[in-house]
Amino acid sequence: MIRFLTAGESHGKALTVIVEGFPSNLKIKNDYLNFHLKRRQAGYGRGLRMKIESDTAEIISGIRFQKTLGSPISFLIKNRDWENWVERMSPENKNPGIEKISIPRPGHADLVGVSKYNFDDIRNSIERSSARETAARVAAGTIARRFLEEFGISIGSFVESIGGVYPKENFSEKLFKNDIPKNFIGWDLSAQSDRSEVRVLNKEHELKIINKIKLAKKKGDTLGGTFYVVATGVPVGLGSFVHYDTKLDADIAQAIMSINAVKGVSIGTGYEAAEKFGSESHDEIIFRGNNPDKSGQVLSRRTNRAGGIEGGISTGLPIIVKGAMKPISTLMTPIQSVDLKTMKAVDARRERSDFVAVPACAVIGESMLAWSLVKFFLLKFGGDSIEETKDNFRSYTKKLNNRIRKNFK
């Protein structure tokens, strides 16, 4: 079973992450990790902090000569702004001059955090609840993504909407219709969306969104949005219907929902399916190819409205996940809060913040989806080395079609 554990505060010295359970001999380069970490930091509407920091992961253990050892992998992601936070975040005695934060921001973890942990300073809640932690997750998820590539599984994402601005033509429709080029891979989506400042697939759409973000900024307000994460090349049979916690769709939903500010997740046509007839919702089963008697032909689906999962098990078609992110909670034109020191009504606290982070959220979604897929992949195929996993994988996929044919003869 793979697992990862992150540690670190937003303005602490560094984030650390320990990743466990990956087979040995998986090739991974530091540049590859840093490439994906950088992608998390991009996007129009991010705050100043993203400009100060360019995250890099220092590999501490578990990788030798660019290959995993099978032992725990650990990384350190240093806070480049640490020198300005040493006193405020010191693990030693508190300097009497350090300001305590007493005005919670609605929508953030400020008030619930001080209530639950009995803090006298909201800074103690802010630091760990901040989405800074997701940098460590992207590092862990990038190992997972690298692993999946070895098996032809590719992940990409794009932003569908920000502040309710949707594209005229939505690429998700093509995905649901299964109307995508034969050689399409998930990463194609990111290769295209990464070129856009807001990670959308269309220039006209990008301009409309940027105008909406400019409006929000002018008003001192923030925005949220929706994004898609797609995985191609996933084999039939990951996940299971036998228990609530073995269902692939349930695990993916948890993984995406765990990202800060994500408040909705759907698989395939999701909420739309709830409004349709069954005949408009399900994916007809077909036999791809001209002659059904010839081997080498495969069972497939006319459409992919289910988003690549039925009964908690992957169908072999692209996995299509949608996430909805609420607007950022820190507002430059604040809404009402209460100062916990005086118990008087005041404006919520302002602090250096993003206006929009949906593009970054989609990148984090890629890592979380990768993680969930590897979890089920290794449960099914196992292996202490990548070579052993590949043997198990090949033997399963090679026999799959013939097995169904034989069983039903």
Ligand X SMILES: Cc1cc2nc3c(=O)[nH]c(=O)nc-3n(C[C@H](O)[C@H](O)[C@H](O)COP(=O)(O)O)c2cc1C
Binding site for ligand X (CB under 6 A): 47, 107-109, 129-131, 134, 259-261, 328-330, 353-354, 357, 360-361, 364
From the list 54, 12, 259, 287, the residue with the least C-alpha distance to 157 is 259
Decide if 125 contacts 113 (C-beta within 8 A).
Answer: yes
Residue 380 host element (H or E): helix 358-381
Q: Cβ of residue 95: shortest distance to ligand X, in angstroms?
A: 26
CA distance 378 to 388: 11
Q: Which is nearer to ligand X, 74 or 134 (CB)?
A: 134
Q: Cβ of residue 361: shortest distance to ligand X, in angstroms?
A: 4
Q: Cβ of residue 317: shortest distance to ligand X, in angstroms?
A: 28
Q: Cβ of residue 80: shortest distance to ligand X, in angstroms?
A: 17
Q: Cβ of residue 214: shortest distance to ligand X, in angstroms?
A: 18
Q: Cβ of residue 110: shortest distance to ligand X, in angstroms?
A: 9
Q: Which is nearer to ligand X, 42 or 76 (CB)?
A: 42
DSSP code for 286: E
Q: Cβ of residue 81: shortest distance to ligand X, in angstroms?
A: 14
Q: Which is nearer to ligand X, 2 or 364 (CB)?
A: 364
Residue 378: other Cβ atoms inside 10 A: 20
Determine the longest span between alpha carbons in the chain, in angstroms: 81
Task: Give one DSSP letter per residue of 331-375, joined into a string.
Answer: -SS--EEEETTTTEEEEPPP-S--S--HHHHHHHHHHHHHHHHHH
Q: Which is nearer to ligand X, 255 or 306 (CB)?
A: 255
Q: Cβ of residue 277: shortest distance to ligand X, in angstroms?
A: 35
Q: Which is nearer to ligand X, 110 or 283 (CB)?
A: 110
Q: Which is nearer to ligand X, 78 or 128 (CB)?
A: 128
Q: Which amino acid is at 176?
A: F
Residues whose CB is less than 8 angstroms from the CB of residue 185 and which lie 6 or more positions away in sequence, other chains included: 154, 156, 232, 233
Q: Which is nearer to ligand X, 223 or 261 (CB)?
A: 261
Q: Which amino acid is at 261?
A: A
Q: Which is nearer to ligand X, 125 or 314 (CB)?
A: 125
CA distance 379 to 388: 13
Q: Which is nearer to ligand X, 318 or 365 (CB)?
A: 365
CA distance 249 to 236: 14
Q: Cβ of residue 193: shortest distance to ligand X, in angstroms?
A: 15
Q: Which is nearer to ligand X, 260 or 269 (CB)?
A: 260
Q: Cβ of residue 333: shortest distance to ligand X, in angstroms?
A: 14
DSSP code for 317: S
Residues facing residue 5 across a β-bridge? 18
From the list 194, 314, 207, the residue with the least C-alpha distance to 252 is 314
Q: Which is nearer to ligand X, 47 or 70 (CB)?
A: 47
Task: Give one DSSP letter per residue of 44-77, joined into a string.
Answer: TT--THHHH----EEEEESEETTEE-SSPEEEEE
Residue 99: other Cβ atoms inside 10 A: 8
Q: Cβ of residue 65: shortest distance to ligand X, in angstroms?
A: 33
Decide if 13 contacts 78 (C-beta within 8 A).
Answer: yes
From the list 201, 202, 221, the residue with the least C-alpha distance to 212 is 221
Residues whose CB is less than 8 angstroms from the CB of residue 193 and which lie 6 or more positions away in sequence, other chains included: 156, 157, 158, 159, 199, 200, 201, 359, 362
CA distance 19 to 134: 14
